[in-house]
């Protein structure tokens, strides 16, 4: 069951969120401030945190920063009464997954939550994935395009694996570095660019001449196609 932590100081909105999320079949915890939020997440890991920005003691930015500082990738949907672009940009730049401005409809909230969970929930541990013309055999570290093996290094395959198993999600260079390189290897973000450039050459382009790995906002990379698990053969 997907577990959601609600962090909202306004009692009526908190209750509304708890009721609606519970109704939608999520397991829900709710707290009213940042410090209890971190404690609640520590004692029971949330699959998603709905985090109000303005909180009495420790605000949403601080909670988010604390989570990301300890390399916690839990998806965070930020809520705020302030619709200012600066807050939105700040929230996203320090690692929020999405942002919703109050007042919002519960339908909008529900759609955003589902979109985040689709991007971030680990799928059934599929071993072979299909995406457009590609087939990826994860245990064998093999990629095929239209049935032909695409030759790549294990590091390139690892990068590709991160992108395709979180298809649609943008990974920053630093995130890719920490996921695909050993901590003591200390390559630079430029190294990621070089590997992505090599991967693009090897994977080719789509019908419109675009690479399958998109550069997003000059900041990171994203796999552009949908990905699905290959159905196992019937016995
Ligand atoms: Ca508030």
**Which DSSP string do the residues of 52-114 spell out, in sequence order?**
ES--SSS-HHHHHHHHHHTT----EEEEES---HHHHHHHHHTT-SEEEESS--HHHHHHHHH
> C-alpha distances in angstroms, 212 versus 53, 85, 93, 208, 225?
35, 30, 24, 11, 7
CA 81 to centroid of ligand 1, rounded, Å: 8
DSSP notation for 3-16:
EEEEE-S-HHHHHH
For residue 136, what are the β-bridge partners?
Answer: 129, 143
Instruction: Work out the number of other CB atoms within 10 angstroms of the CB of residue 17.
Output: 22
> Could you list the pLDDT tens digit for every one of the 235 residues in the chain?
889 999 999 999 999 999 889 888 789 999 999 999 999 999 999 999 999 999 999 999 999 999 999 989 999 999 988 666 777 777 788 889 998 988 888 878 888 998 898 888 765 456 789 999 999 988 788 999 999 999 999 889 989 988 998 877 899 998 888 778 876 677 888 899 999 999 999 999 999 999 999 999 878 999 999 988 876 554 4
CA 166 to centroid of ligand 1, rounded, Å: 31
Are the beta carbons of 141 and 55 closer than 8 angstroms?
Answer: no
Neighbours of ion ligand 1 (CB under 5 A): 9, 52, 54
CA 108 to centroid of ligand 1, rounded, Å: 19
Q: What pLDDT score was predicted for residue 232?
A: 56
CA 116 to centroid of ligand 1, rounded, Å: 22
CA 171 to centroid of ligand 1, rounded, Å: 29
Q: How far apart are alpha carbons 109 and 89 in whole angstroms?
A: 19
Are the beta carbons of 224 and 210 closer than 8 angstroms?
Answer: yes
For each of the domains in the chain, give its residue range(s) and CATH number, in order of start.
Answer: 3-120 (3.40.50.2300), 128-229 (1.10.10.10)
CA 201 to centroid of ligand 1, rounded, Å: 48
Q: What pLDDT score was predicted for residue 124?
A: 46
Q: What pLDDT score was predicted for residue 122?
A: 62
CA 53 to centroid of ligand 1, rounded, Å: 6
């Amino acid at each position: 069951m997907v577990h959601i932590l609600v962090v909202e100081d306004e009692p009526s909105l908190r209750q509304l969120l708890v009721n609606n999320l519970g109704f939608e079949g999520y397991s829900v915890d709710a707290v009213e401030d940042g410090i209890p939020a971190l404690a609640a997440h520590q004692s029971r890991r949330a699959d998603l945190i709905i985090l109000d920005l303005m909180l009495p003691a420790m605000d949403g930015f601080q909670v988010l920063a604390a989570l990301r500082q300890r390399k916690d990738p839990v998806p965070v949907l930020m809520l705020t009464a302030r619709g200012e672009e600066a807050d939105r940009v700040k929230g996203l730049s320090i690692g929020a997954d999405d942002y919703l401005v109050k007042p919002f409809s519960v339908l909008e909230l529900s759609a955003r939550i589902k979109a985040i969970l689709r991007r971030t929930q680990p799928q059934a541990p599929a071993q072979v994935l299909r995406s457009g013309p590609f087939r990826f055999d994860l245990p064998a570290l093999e990629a095929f395009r239209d049935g032909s093996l695409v030759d790549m290094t294990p590091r390139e395959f690892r990068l590709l694996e991160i992108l395709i198993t979180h298809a649609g999600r943008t990974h920053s260079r630093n995130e890719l570095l920490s996921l695909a390189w050993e901590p003591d290897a200390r390559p630079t973000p430029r190294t990621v660019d070089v590997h992505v450039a090599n991967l693009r050459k090897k994977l080719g382009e789509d019908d419109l001449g675009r690479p399958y790995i998109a550069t997003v906002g000059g900041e990171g990379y994203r796999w552009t196609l949908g990905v699905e698990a290959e159905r196992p053969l019937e016995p």
